[in-house]
Structures are given as structure tokens and as C-alpha cells.
Amino acid sequence: MNCKQLNSIGLEEVLAFLGHLPTRQNEKEAWYISPFGLESHASFKVDRPNNTWYLFSEGAGGTTTDFIQKYLNTSVKGTLEWASDQNFSSFHQQTKTSRSHPNYRIDRIMDIAHPNLLSYLHERGLNEKVYPFIKELWFTIENKQLYAVGFKNNSGGWELRNAFYKGALLKKDISVLPFFSNAGLISSNEIGKNIPNQKVAVFEGFTDALSFIEMQKSFQGDLLVLNSTAMLQKALVLLDSYSEISLFLDNDPTGRECAQEILKSFPNAKDFAHLYSDYKDLNEYLIAKRKHHAHETINTLIKTTVKNEHIEKQNECREETNRINKGMRRRM
């Protein structure tokens, strides 16, 4: 896909895909609450005949390419790669006459076995403990056969990684799966079901989720992987069903922005990114710890954080009690 093709995709379809619906509309225009931040009045306008947008609150606008680039905070290349992974009907309606078949196919799905993939996982600090959550995919793109580690999403699509390739096949979506420490308890029928405590840990990419599995010992709950920050609005809807939310997002501007959006919607959510603040993400932290033979479980770090918060609250209560007692002695 190139910029011309991307700009032919309807902005309204892209906005709906990302979870944004118009507040009012007519034949010529549609108005939205800004997709880029919080506001009380709709200032984002889509010019329907020209398929362009303008954000009055910022004085910015442009094409479909410009919108996705700003929304994802990425380069033009990153924008085109993301759009190519989606299944926008307004694009396929224009191209179905010239391409009756997809330019890829999935050849085999199997348990992880290829030595190169095992080596790749090991280099990422990931070992046998994570194998039940991933697959080995063999696929063909433009007559070139490739293989990669595959991580399935809720729509049956796949996130793919190997040492030289990063991509996705089929529809882009978030992934939600249960984790109970004992991988033998996992079954496809349990995906999406919450355990009684309704706990969930949130990650940006699946290697971070696998790192969490590798590091912890006793977590009982769901793992939610965005697979793309563009899935945030969809994730917010699902997170509403959980009573305990733990965030393990990336330590970059996009990851921090996602974390803040979740915290705004769920003030009781806990952000644990400070535990690996010297690293871009949880996987980089795991790799560094493995290299220095100083592996520490994520449980220990989380428990230490919670314990410190409890101590701080105890100290605050003690100080308040002392203040009240001093006041009473003065009055006596």
C-alpha cells in the first residue's frame, strides 16, 4: 500500500475502526470529539466529498495518511505498514477487481520447534514457560516462504516475529488470554473469561506479555495485549469489566500516553512502568536481568511497590493521629 491508496480509504471507516463515532453529520461533513485528546465539544471535522479532516482546536488537518500518522505518532512508513495490516473495506472494494486473491497464505501452524525461532526466543529471555502461548507459523508472501513466532489475537489474526521480520496476518485486534501460572489450565474455551478476582495485566506487545509470564510466579488473571496502540479505545471497553488493572506499557511517549488514557478512565489502575524505568519495555528489562544473572521475579517488584504504598499510608495515619493527640493536649 502507498500513500495514494491509503488516502483513498474513507476517513469515517478508519475512525469507526479505531472506536470514534460522529456526534453530528450531514451529506457534506461529519463532526467528532477529537480523537487526539479529551474535549467537551466536537472540533474534529471530516469533509466527506474530499475525504479530508481538520481539527479546529489545534489548527491541523490533512489526508487519511496524515490522520493515521498523527494518531499513531509514527512515520509515514509506519503508517503504511499499519494500514496494510488492516482490512478496510473501502480499500478492498477498489482493489478487488485487480486482485481476486490475497498476496499471502498461511501454510502451517504448529508448536514451536524450529531451532532459529527457539534461539530468537532465548535471545529475548524467553524459554519453555511461554511456549504454550505461541505457535510456529509458516506462511508465504508474494511467493516467498517465511516462518515466525505467531501470537493469536481475538479476531483470529496473528502477530508475527522472528529475528529479521515483524508483521501481522489477517485482521488486527487485541489479544486477551487467561493466565494461571500453571499453563496446563489454559484452554481455548477459557479465553476472554475472567477469574473471580477479575485481575488483568495490560501490555503493548506480546513479547512483553511473554516476559511477564516468564518472570512472575503466582499471577492469577487475564493478560490483555494491545498489539497496537491504535487498539486502545477497544481495550478501554474491555477493561471496564475488571476490578484490578495493572499496566506494563512501554517507557516511550506513546506508551506513557496510553497509560495516562487508561488511568484517566480507571483511576484505581496501577502503573508499574517505573519498575523498569531504565528500559524501553518489560522485555528489554528481562533481557538485561538475564544477561547479568540477576533475575528477579516481577512478583517481588510488584509486592515491594504495594508494600511501600501500605507503609506510606500507615505513616500518614500515624502522623495524623499524633497531630490530633497534640491538639487535644493543648485544649486540656
The tens place of each residue's pLDDT in the chain, 332 residues long, gives: 788 888 888 888 888 777 777 788 888 898 888 888 766 778 899 999 899 999 888 888 999 999 998 888 888 888 888 888 776 754 544 443 344 445 678 899 999 999 999 999 999 999 998 999 999 999 887 677 889 999 999 988 888 888 877 778 877 789 998 876 544 433 334 444 444 458 899 999 999 999 999 888 778 889 999 988 878 888 998 898 898 999 999 998 888 989 999 999 999 899 999 999 889 999 999 999 888 764 455 555 555 555 565 566 666 666 766 666 666 555 55
Phi-psi region of 149 (alpha: psi -120 to 50; beta: other; left: phi over 0): beta
pLDDT of amino acid 195: 44
pLDDT of amino acid 152: 92
Neighbour count for residue 11 (Cβ, 10 Å) = 22
pLDDT of amino acid 57: 82
As a whole number of angstroms, the distance between CA 12 and CA 252 comes to 29
pLDDT of amino acid 312: 62
Residue 267 phi/psi, 5-degree rounding, is -55, -25
Query: Does the CA dihedral 132-231-276-79 come out positive or negative?
Result: positive
Do strands 221-225 and 175-179 pair parallel, antiparallel, or not at all (unpaired)? antiparallel
pLDDT of amino acid 162: 87
pLDDT of amino acid 309: 59
Nearest residue to 178 via CA among 137, 211, 219, 216: 219
pTM of the predicted model over 0.75: no
pLDDT of amino acid 295: 46
pLDDT of amino acid 194: 42
pLDDT of amino acid 101: 47
Q: Would you say 82 and 230 are in contact if contact means Cβ atoms under 8 Å apart? A: yes
pLDDT of amino acid 93: 46
Which helix H or strand E contains 287, and what residues bound it?
Answer: helix 282-291
As a whole number of angstroms, the distance between CA 331 and CA 74 comes to 64
Q: What 3-state class would DSSP assign to 202?
A: strand
